[in-house]
Structure 1
């Protein structure tokens, strides 16, 4: 399977005082505000590249794990993944995935194996050049 997805960013002005928007092909994001404040300060309405990467990573990882669970004969009752991205001195240095899962009948060792495999083969994990860590909790 091969496909292309796209997003568009528009910016006007300087890095600190300027403002921009970001839109996605699906229009889930449609001229969503992007600014210095939404990227480097808390409390502003809008998004930022780091938040979008974290969202993409948590979504991709969770879907990948679901596929692996299905291949192994399990169906997740619930998979909840938070991606915490660390930005330091102009670099994304780390993404920590925090997974909480409810998968009936799944043994802890098999769960850890599949959770780690999903982290390794998730397309977003593979494209990022950052340390990616995982905490997986089976409830």
Structure 2
């Protein structure tokens, strides 16, 4: 399977005083605002790091679901958060925290599959940052 997805950004002004918008092909984001304040301070709008976190947690969780299915498990619920650390001009770490409700699976099996999902998730493979994981079966 091969496909291409598109997103775009528009910026006006300087790095610190300027402002911009981010849009996606699906229009889920349609001129969502971002600026210095939404990235490095508190402000209304988005930023690249939270978008990476959203993309990574979504990709990872879907990958985990597929891997569970391969082992004949179906999750009642999977919830993942991604904490993206920006330090000295680069993203240095992404910490995934996932919680799963999966009938008839042992904690050890869930943790094994969750770790494999982290390793084979397409976005995990894209990142050069350290990626860590806490997986909890509820």
Tell me which interval the TM-score lies in, with the shorter structure as reference length. Answer: over 0.9
TM-score for both structures, normalised by structure 2: 0.99
Aligned to 2:113: 114
- Quick one: distance in 2 between partners of 1:51 and 1:127? 16
* Distance in 1, Cα, partners of 2:10 & 2:71: 44
SS at match of 1:117: helix
Aligned to 2:11: 11
1:72-124 deviation line (CA, Å, top 9, x unaligned)? 00000110000000001111010000011110100111111100000000000
4+ runs deviating over 3 angstroms: none
Aligned partner of 1:127 in structure 2 is 126
User: Match for residue 82 of structure 1?
Assistant: 81
Q: Measure how far apart 1:51 and its partner are.
A: 0.5
Tell me the residue number matched to 1:24.
24
**Structure 1 segments unaligned to the other structure (5+ residues):** none
Q: Distance in 2 between matches of 1:128 and 1:6?
A: 19
Structure 1 CA distance, aligned partners of 2:6 and 2:129? 22
Give the C-alpha shift of residue 34 in structure 1.
1.0
Secondary structure of the corresponding residue to residue 3 of structure 2: coil
Q: TM-score, normalised by structure 1?
A: 0.98
Distance 1:38 1:67 in 2: 34
> Structure 2: how far apart are the matches of 1:121 and 1:6?
23
SS in 1 for 2:108: helix
Partner of residue 54, structure 2:
55
* Structure 2 counterpart of 1:105: 104
Identify unmatched segments of 5+ residues in structure 2: none
Alpha-carbon deviation of 1:37? 0.4
